C-alpha cells in the first residue's frame, strides 16, 4: 500500500485539474492500493462536492468500493500524537489531515506517499525518517 494525500485524490476525481493525468499515471504505474485517513477522505469529498457535486464524489466512492482506496482508522491513543505533531510543525502549519498521514506512516511503517504537498518533504516519521514522496 501507498499513502495518499487529499490533493492527489482530488486530482484523480477531477479531470480538469492540471495534475490529473500525472496522478492517474502514477497510480496506474504503482499498481498498489492507496491508504488514506478519514480526514483526507472528508477533505476530498468536500472539495469534490463543491467542484462537481455528487457525480464527482461518486468517483471517490468508486475507489473505495473497488478496493483501490483504503482508510486507516485512528485510535483514541493516537490523538495525543496527532496534536503533538501539529504543535511541532505549527510553523508550516500542519493541518489535522497531514498529521493523520504521519501517524498512519508511524503505525503502518509505510513511507511512500503520493502527495502534491511539499510539506511532506519536511515532516518526519517518528521524528527521524523521511517520507518517500512519489510525486
Beta bridge partners of 70: 35
DSSP state of 66: T
The pTM (predicted TM-score) of the whole model is 0.95
d(CA 11, CA 119): 18
Q: Which domains does the chain carry?
A: 2-133 (3.40.50.1010)
* Interval 26-74: pLDDT, tens: 999 999 999 999 999 999 999 999 999 999 999 999 999 999 999 999 9
Whether residue 76 contacts residue 111, with contact meaning beta carbons closer than 8 Å, is answered with: no
Q: What are phi and psi of 73, to 5 degrees?
A: -95, 120
Amino acid at each position: 500500500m501507498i499513502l495518499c494525500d487529499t490533493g492527489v485524490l482530488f486530482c484523480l476525481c477531477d479531470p480538469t485539474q492540471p495534475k490529473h493525468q500525472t496522478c492517474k499515471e502514477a497510480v496506474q504505474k504503482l499498481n498498489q492500493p492507496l491508504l488514506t485517513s478519514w480526514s483526507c477522505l472528508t477533505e476530498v469529498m468536500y472539495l469534490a462536492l463543491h467542484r462537481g457535486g455528487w457525480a464527482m464524489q461518486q468517483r471517490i466512492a468508486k475507489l473505495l468500493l473497488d478496493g483501490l482506496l483504503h482508510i486507516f482508522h485512528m485510535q483514541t491513543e493516537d490523538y495525543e500524537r496527532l496534536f503533538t505533531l501539529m504543535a511541532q510543525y505549527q510553523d508550516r502549519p500542519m493541518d489535522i489531515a497531514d498529521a493523520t498521514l504521519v501517524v498512519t506512516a508511524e503505525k503502518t511503517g509505510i513511507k511512500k506517499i503520493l502527495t502534491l504537498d511539499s510539506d511532506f518533504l519536511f515532516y518526519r516519521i517518528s521524528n527521524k525518517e523521511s517520507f518517500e514522496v512519489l510525486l
